[in-house]
């Protein structure tokens, strides 16, 4: 006979699955772009947990597209090669030697680790970069920064072809230049936002190392409109590294993404908590579309 505590655990699991049904129905066929980065990328268990969540999203009928970063891995290899980075206004100057390392790390090491993790969990993943099929064409974001790109043309049919075939695309944020076959490094959040906008994604999930956007009292704001985000940037409540994420969210919504969520990727099953529960996770930014139910917190 099973212990009573085990029975309770199975009952709780069944109840959770039942309560998730409206969300499973809501997101059937939905395109969800997930930006994966931060400390979770360097932790094998966190990587496996993330991969399992992505495979589950695909299994229940969603179309996840993963876009990743890899800053710490780039820093490690630059240091090993003795390439010293210069910085302007807190941003790395990306010269020819540096962009070659960036492409090597992002399109090679990091991309294939994520692909392998998803495949290990029973999914079908294929890794590409923004250069493949001219997915992402860029021009220099700031001439002083060198080969740091800003997307000016998106060709996302290759992503549709992949997820329509049941394959999970994993995209490295390296892009083609508008001239001379240049290679550009693109900020991972920026790339994810541009891809989500071009796909008219239902959701863009920006996984970070913080719990979400916080107000002046240090509390996570669970729902915001674009106007509220702009006000929080203007008055300094949103500051530092959260500014580019918030600006990415605003641009994605302007481009047609239904909602953007900034959430803590270190939390186990963060994507599932956001998509399939009343409670949600992190900070949701949307124009007017309501959730199935208001967040309970």
Sign, Cα dihedral of 20, 25, 29, 30 = negative
Given pLDDT bands bounded at 50, 70 and 90, which one contains residue 293?
Answer: very low
Q: Is 205 within a domain? A: yes
Interatomic CA distance for residues 180 and 49, integer angstroms? 41
Residue with the bigger pLDDT between 99 and 14: it is: 99
Q: Is 218 helix (H, G, I), strand (E, B) or coil?
A: coil
- In this predicted model, what pLDDT tens digit does every residue of 180-206 receive, in sequence order? 789 999 999 999 999 999 999 999 999
Q: Is 17 within a domain? A: no
Residue with the bigger pLDDT between 18 and 82: it is: 82
β-pairing verdict for 136-140 and 149-154: antiparallel
Residue 290 has pLDDT above 70, yes or no: no
Q: Where are the alpha helices (DSSP H) in 121-241?
A: 157-164, 188-199, 226-234
Q: Is 217 within a domain? A: yes
Distances (CA, A) of 200 to 28, 193, 254: 15, 10, 10
pLDDT of residue 146: 93
* Domains: count for the chain: 1
**Residue 210 backbone dihedrals phi, psi, to 5 degrees:** -130, 165
By C-alpha distance, which of 158, 164, 169, 165 is closest to 125?
169
Q: Is 18 within a domain? A: no
Q: Is 246 within a domain? A: yes
- In this predicted model, what pLDDT tens digit does every residue of 216-274 receive, in sequence order? 888 889 899 999 999 999 999 998 888 889 999 999 999 999 999 999 888 888 888 88
Q: Is 8 within a domain? A: no
Interatomic CA distance for residues 286 and 9, integer angstroms? 35
Given pLDDT bands bounded at 50, 70 and 90, which one contains residue 295?
Answer: very low
**Which of 11-15, 40-44, 148-152: highest mean pLDDT?**
148-152
CB 68 within 8 A of CB 173: yes
Q: Which of 64-68, 207-211, 225-229 has the lowest mean pLDDT?
A: 207-211
**Tokens at residue 76, please?**
């490690």
Interatomic CA distance for residues 40 and 188, integer angstroms? 15
Given pLDDT bands bounded at 50, 70 and 90, which one contains residue 276?
Answer: confident
DSSP notation for 41-84: GG-HHHHHHHHHHHHHHHHTT-EEEEEE--HHHHHHHHHHHTPP
Residue 296 has pLDDT above 50, yes or no: no
Q: Is 111 within a domain? A: yes
pLDDT of residue 287: 80
Q: Is 39 within a domain? A: yes
Which CATH number covers residue 189? Answer: 3.40.1160.10
- In this predicted model, what pLDDT tens digit does every residue of 141-163 receive, in sequence order? 888 999 999 999 999 999 999 99
pLDDT of residue 297: 32
Given pLDDT bands bounded at 50, 70 and 90, which one contains residue 42?
Answer: confident
CB 33 within 8 A of CB 67: yes
Residue with the bigger pLDDT between 102 and 295: it is: 102
Rg (CA), the chain: 19
pLDDT of residue 291: 45
Structure pTM? Answer: 0.89
Q: Which domain holds residue 117?
A: 26-286
Residues in the chain: 297
């Amino acid at each position: 006979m099973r212990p009573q505590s085990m029975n309770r655990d199975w009952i709780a699991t069944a109840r959770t699955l039942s309560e998730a049904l409206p969300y499973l129905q809501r997101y059937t066929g939905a395109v969800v772009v997930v930006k994966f980065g931060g400390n979770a990328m360097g932790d094998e268990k966190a990587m496996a947990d993330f991969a399992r969540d992505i495979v589950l999203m695909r299994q229940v009928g969603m179309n996840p597209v993963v876009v990743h970063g890899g800053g710490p891995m780039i820093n490690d290899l630059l240091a090993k090669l003795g390439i010293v980075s210069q910085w302007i206004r807190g941003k790395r100057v990306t010269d020819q030697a540096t962009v070659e390392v960036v492409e090597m790390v992002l399109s090679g090491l990091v991309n294939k680790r994520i692909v392998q993790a998803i495949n290990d969990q029973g999914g079908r993943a294929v890794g590409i970069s923004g250069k493949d099929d001219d997915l992402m064409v860029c021009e220099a974001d700031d001439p002083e920064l060198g080969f740091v790109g800003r997307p000016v043309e998106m060709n996302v049919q290759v992503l549709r072809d992949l997820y329509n075939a049941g394959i999970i695309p994993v995209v490295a944020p390296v892009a083609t230049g508008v001239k001379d076959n240049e290679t550009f490094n693109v900020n991972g959040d920026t790339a994810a936002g541009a891809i989500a906008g071009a796909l008219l994604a239902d959701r863009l999930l920006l996984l970070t190392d913080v719990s979400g956007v916080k107000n002046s009292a240090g509390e996570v704001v669970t729902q915001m409109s674009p106007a509220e985000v702009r006000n929080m940037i203007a008055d300094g409540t949103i500051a530092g590294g959260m500014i580019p994420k918030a600006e990415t969210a605003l641009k994605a919504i302007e481009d047609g993404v239904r909602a953007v969520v900034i959430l803590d990727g270190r939390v186990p099953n963060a994507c599932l908590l956001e998509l399939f529960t009343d409670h949600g996770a992190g900070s949701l930014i949307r124009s007017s579309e309501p959730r199935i139910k208001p967040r309970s917190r």
